[in-house]
Structure 1
């Protein structure tokens, strides 16, 4: 039923559950799976010098890449080959855009990520993805 599955991860407990569900489905369906991590664009306070800003960006990117690496290792331990994608920007927009561009048939995402305060004010990423997506979205609790 699903040949291409996109799993969004952010390091939260719910994204761990989404990863487990996505890998289970991929194994069951013999589907191609891609793990995506989207780093929000961060606002740097005025006055920070370039090297400080660069080190902040480098640190954030390394954390995101480590999440993807760990997720890929978990997939491989289950006998699943997984691709990884690191993106920057608004997570819901980037996830939906990638899913449409690469013709994924299912998006798996956790119900709540790491940005709980922002999500309460702006709406959760998972909710936005479910509203904008062209394909089914599995929201894992």
Structure 2
């Protein structure tokens, strides 16, 4: 059914739930697992001398490198071997790109329901946007707010 799975992981609570769900279903699938962390492009501020990053890109990349490492360790603790991938950019674009490149059968992502329309609009939805670009099926693991 699914022989190659891409798990997009950001270290959030919904991301952890997706990681655990992926580990559970892999007991049945015995698929090749790829764990992806996408470091966002650092926000910048414009000053008279040019653009200055609010958070240097190196810090964002390092933070997501740690997220990836933690995710790989969690999977390993559950008996799941995974290959890690760290990229920088737009989450939807990078998840879709790597899914195409690896020819995966399934993408697994976490999602948190937002409590208001404004919050949904402001934060957007990787899952909803990914549906339009994904080359395969998507499993969205839902985390409801407390």
Residue equivalent to 1:95 = 95
Q: 2: distance between equivalents of 1:122 and 1:8? A: 17
Residue equivalent to 1:79 = 79
Residue equivalent to 2:110 = 110
Q: 2: distance between equivalents of 1:48 and 1:79? A: 53
Residue equivalent to 1:126 = 127
Q: 2: distance between equivalents of 1:49 and 1:103? A: 44
Q: 2: distance between equivalents of 1:119 and 1:68? A: 26
**Greater relative contact order: 1 or 2 (C-alpha under 8 angstroms, separation 6 or more)?**
1
Question: In the TM superposition, what is the alpha-carbon distance from 1:27 to its structure 2 partner?
Answer: 2.6
Asked if 2 retains the 8 angstrom alpha-carbon contact of 1:23 and 1:33, the reply is no
Q: Which moved more, 1:75-84 or 1:118-127?
A: 118-127
Q: 1: distance between equivalents of 2:14 and 2:49? A: 35
What SS does structure 2 have at the residue aligned with 1:16?
A: helix
Q: 2: distance between equivalents of 1:48 and 1:62? A: 28
Write out aligned runs for 1:17-96 (5 A): 17-47=17-47, 53=53, 56-96=56-96
What SS does structure 2 have at the residue aligned with 1:111?
A: strand
Hey, which of these two has a bigger chunk of strand by percent?
Answer: 2
Question: In the TM superposition, what is the alpha-carbon distance from 1:37 to its structure 2 partner?
Answer: 1.0
Gaps of 5+ in 2: none
Gaps of 5+ in 1: none
Residue equivalent to 2:137 = 136
For the pair shown, which has the larger CA radius of gyration, 1 or 2? Answer: 2
Q: 2: distance between equivalents of 1:36 and 1:88? A: 11
Aligned pairs, number: 138
**RMSD over aligned Cα atoms:** 2.6
TM-score when scaled to structure 1? 0.85
Q: 1: distance between equivalents of 2:90 and 2:120? A: 12
TM-score when scaled to structure 2? 0.83
Asked if 1 retains the 8 angstrom alpha-carbon contact of 2:11 and 2:71, the reply is no
